[in-house]
Amino acid sequence: MDLPIINFTSQSQISNDNRLNSIVEYPYLISLYLGKSHIDYMEQFLNETKTHLTRLTELIVDYDQLTVVTDNFTRDATRLNCANVKKERLELCLFSCCNVVMF
C-alpha cells in the first residue's frame, strides 16, 4: 500500500492538541511519499511515539526536512519507523515554502 501526503499547511494550524491522540498504526503501508508536505507530517509519520510503520520499505522525503526531524539522523524516536526502509528517495525542495518552519 502506498500513501502520498501532499499538504503545505502546518498541523498546528489545524489542531494543536496532540496529548489525546493514540499511536496510529499502518500495518500494511510499504511506501510513504512526504516530498511535498509540511515538516509536521514528516514528524508525525517518522516519530514512533505517534505512528507505527512496521512494514515501511520505501520513503520519499525532502532531505532538508529529514535532517531536521531526525536531528541529523541521530534522533532515537525516528529510528524504528525507518528501520526497514530499503529504498529512499531524497528530494531537494525548489520552493521556499517547503522550508519555512523549523523545530
Return the domain boundaries, the chain: 2-7+26-98
Q: How far apart are CA 75 and CA 84, in angstroms?
A: 16
Q: How far apart are CA 26 and CA 1, in angstroms?
A: 10
Q: How far apart are CA 90 and CA 74, in angstroms?
A: 17
pLDDT tens figures, 62-91? 888 888 998 988 898 888 888 888 877 766
How much is the pLDDT for 52? 92
The string of DSSP codes covering the chain is -EEEEEE-S-HHHH----TTPPPEE-TT--EEEEEEE-HHHHHHHH-TTTEE-TT--EEEEEHHHHHHHTTTTT-GGGHHHHTT--EEEEE---SGGGG----
How much is the pLDDT for 19? 57
Dihedral of CA 39/82/55/46: which sign? negative
Q: Extract the residue ranges of the chain whose pLDDT is less than 50.
A: 94-103
Is pTM beyond 0.75? Reply is no
